[in-house]
């Protein structure tokens, strides 16, 4: 199937889904360029899965419109379905079958010959580092292997649009990196990916544009750079040699930078969020003056940097709350399955 590499893969206007009184998705406008990874970032209960389910035609919107490659998700659901694939925390593979058996079965179900299905299964298992586990029942896979076989199953017939709903929640750093590599490879083949995540670094790593959603609404949208720029010019990070000099450094930085100084858990570290001056120039000038004055005051600085704020800081500034470790627990995701 030929891929659409220009234009929009997804376009929604005022999309709404309510569950009783709860407006889970409350008027969402999205434009997702084809051929890219688009990140949808939001805390637990923000409405990410609900939005994805509507776009994948699994849930009927209560208001607004959504088009996938120009097809209306309600009136032309079949056309949408033929072009999308979904990987979530859903059972897309059969636990009792082996990795190979699952992929071959799916290949056969989607019209491949036995030979072609086996070939494709072997290719995917190899690409996903699952060759050794190919003959084992999926119920005996680790969490990371399980997530990889799920994604393998969803790209068996290279979809034009792949929904990945929190693909790395609960995975260890190494498995997360493997999944990220897979996502990059999928996009390199021309597939558009809509990725939901609670992990800011994941959106930072993979997505070219990001929508931040909270309580069913898009509260910010843009490229990573735009989102970061929206909360200020940057953050000055300072590491001192001597923890005892930190109060003095804090006072001096507060005066020179005219900013609130945050004391990091590390006793020699301080961070200041520097506001936007004229074209952001003000920030770097004030930062270099701050460094000079620290040195002048006899405060030993081991490390001094002016960087863009992290997406974490952006998220905090936008939602006024930080995702807690408990929020990112894998079990947090099972609630919508129970509710569905």
Ligand X SMILES: Nc1ncnc2c1ncn2[C@@H]1O[C@H](COP(=O)(O)OP(=O)(O)OP(=O)(O)O)[C@@H](O)[C@H]1O
Binding site for Mg ion (CB under 5 A): 48-49
**Residue closer to ligand X, measured from CB, 18 or 310:** 18
Which CB sits closer to ligand X, 49 or 245?
A: 49
19 CB-side CA count, 13 A: 11
Alpha carbon distance 334, 49 (integer Å): 11
Which residues neighbour 131 within 8 Å (Cβ) at sequence distance 6 or greater?
122, 125
Q: Is 308 in the site for ligand X (CB under 6 A)?
A: no
Q: Is 168 in the site for ligand X (CB under 6 A)?
A: no
Per CB under 6 A, does 63 bind ligand X? no
Distance (Å, whole) CA 299 – CA 245: 7
In the bound state with ligand X, the residue whose beta carbon lies nearer, of 46 and 103, is 46
Which is nearer to Mg ion, 48 or 273 (by Cβ)?
Answer: 48
Q: Whose Cβ is closer to ligand X: residue 99's or residue 216's?
A: 216
Q: Is 236 helix (H, G, I), strand (E, B) or coil?
A: strand
Q: Where are the beta strands (DSSP E) in the chain?
A: 8-19, 22-33, 37-41, 63-68, 71-72, 84-87, 161-165, 192-197, 209-214, 217-223, 234-240, 261-263, 269-274, 301-307
**Stretch of 47-55, 76-84, 181-189, 295-303 contacting ligand X, by CB under 6 A:** 47-55
Per CB under 6 A, 22 contacts ligand X: yes
Number of residues counted as binding ligand X (CB under 6 A): 17
Does 275 contact ligand X by CB under 6 A?
no
Among 36, 50, 98, 175, contact with ligand X (rule: CB under 6 A): 50
The CA-based diameter of the chain, rounded to the nearest angstrom, is: 76
Among ligand X, Mg ion, none, partner that 113 touches (CB below 5 to 8 angstroms by kind): none
Looking at the Cβ atoms of 104 and 218, the one nearer to ligand X is: 218
Interaction partner, residue 19 (Mg ion, ligand X, none; CB < 5-8 Å by kind): ligand X
Considering the rule CB under 6 A, would residue 319 count as an interface residue with ligand X? no
The residue with tokens 């930085």 is: 253
Instruction: Give the residue closest to Mg ion by C-beta.
Output: 49
Q: Which residues contact 62 (CB under 8 A, 6 or more apart)?
A: 16, 17, 18
Of 43, 41, 67, 36, nearest to 54 by C-alpha is: 67
Q: How far is the CB of 325 from ligand X (least distance, A)?
A: 14
CA distances from 256 to 288, 299, 316 (A): 10, 14, 25
The stretch near ligand X (CB under 6 A) out of 43-51, 68-76, 95-103, 256-264 is 43-51
Q: Of the two residues 102 and 198, which places its CB atom closer to ligand X in the complex?
A: 198
24 contacts ligand X (rule: CB under 6 A): yes
Q: Does the protein bind ligand X through residue 49 (CB under 6 A)?
A: yes
- φ, ψ dihedrals at 180, nearest 5°: -60, -40
Structure tokens at 206: 């993979």
Q: Where do contacts with ligand X occur on this chain (CB under 6 A)? A: 19, 22, 24, 42, 44-50, 198, 332-333, 336, 339-340
């Amino acid at each position: 199937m030929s891929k659409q590499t220009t234009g929009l893969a997804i376009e929604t206007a005022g999309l709404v889904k309510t569950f009783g009184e709860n407006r889970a998705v409350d008027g969402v406008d999205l434009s997702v360029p084809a051929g890219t990874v688009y990140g949808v970032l939001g805390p637990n209960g923000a409405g990410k899965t609900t939005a994805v389910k509507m776009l994948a035609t699994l849930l009927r919107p209560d208001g607004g419109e959504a088009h996938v490659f120009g097809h209306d998700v309600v009136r032309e659901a079949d056309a949408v379905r033929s072009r999308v694939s979904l990987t979530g925390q859903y059972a897309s593979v059969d636990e009792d079958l082996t990795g190979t058996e699952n992929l071959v079965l799916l290949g056969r179900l989607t019209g491949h010959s036995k030979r072609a299905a086996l070939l494709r299964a072997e290719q995917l298992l190899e690409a996903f580092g699952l060759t050794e586990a190919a003959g084992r029942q999926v119920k005996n896979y680790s969490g990371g292997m399980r997530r990889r076989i799920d994604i393998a199953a969803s790209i068996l017939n290279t979809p034009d649009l792949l929904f990945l709903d929190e693909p790395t929640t609960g995975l260890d750093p190494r498995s997360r990196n493997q999944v990220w590599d897979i996502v990059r490879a999928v996009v390199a083949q021309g597939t558009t990916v809509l990725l939901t995540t609670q992990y800011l670094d994941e959106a930072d790593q993979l997505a070219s544009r990001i929508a931040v959603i909270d309580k069913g609404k898009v509260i910010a949208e843009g490229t990573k750079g735009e989102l970061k720029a929206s909360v200020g010019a940057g953050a000055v990070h300072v590491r001192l040699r001597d923890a005892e000099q930190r109060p003095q450094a804090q006072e001096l930085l507060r005066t020179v930078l005219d900013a609130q100084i945050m004391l990091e858990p590390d006793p020699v570290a301080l961070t200041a969020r520097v506001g936007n001056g004229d074209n952001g120039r003000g920030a770097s000038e004030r930062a270099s003056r701050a460094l000079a004055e620290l040195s002048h005051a006899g405060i030993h600085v081991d490390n001094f940097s002016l960087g863009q704020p992290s997406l974490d800081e952006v998220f905090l500034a936008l939602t006024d709350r930080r995702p807690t470790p408990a929020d990112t627990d894998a079990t947090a995701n099972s609630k919508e399955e129970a509710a569905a």
